[in-house]
Amino acid sequence: MSETQKLDFSAVNGTTQESFIQQKNLIKRMLKGNSAECSECKKPLTLQLPPNTKKAKPTDKAPGIYCAKGCTDIELDMEAVALLK
């Protein structure tokens, strides 16, 4: 590819931006305590938070939002979540 040719990512950027906004809004709703369902299988989503004490047993999953079937799998960076408050 020559230096004068440019790639057009406008179609991909629009889809990516829309997906990001949908996930951000889903995370906000779940953190507020609202329920939501998986867009793929329509099963309820669960919010997995980190243990809140040192005596709590560790969980097998990282903090995040999950679907029972595995369609939705959004891991959360809890340091970033703390900044949302």
From residue 34, how far is each of 31, 37, 71 by CA, in Å? 7, 10, 19
The first and second tokens of residue 62, run together, are 């990282």
What pLDDT was estimated at residue 26?
Answer: 94
Alpha-carbon distance 6 to 1, whole Å? Answer: 9
**pLDDT tens digits along 31-84:** 999 999 998 999 999 998 887 767 777 777 888 999 999 999 999 887 766 665
**Does 8 score more than 90 pLDDT?**
no
From residue 83, how far is each of 77, 79, 80 by CA, in Å? 10, 7, 5
**pLDDT tens digits along 18-32:** 889 999 999 999 999
Span between the terminal Cα atoms of the chain, in Å = 46
What pLDDT was estimated at residue 57?
Answer: 74
CB atoms within 10 A of CB 23: 13
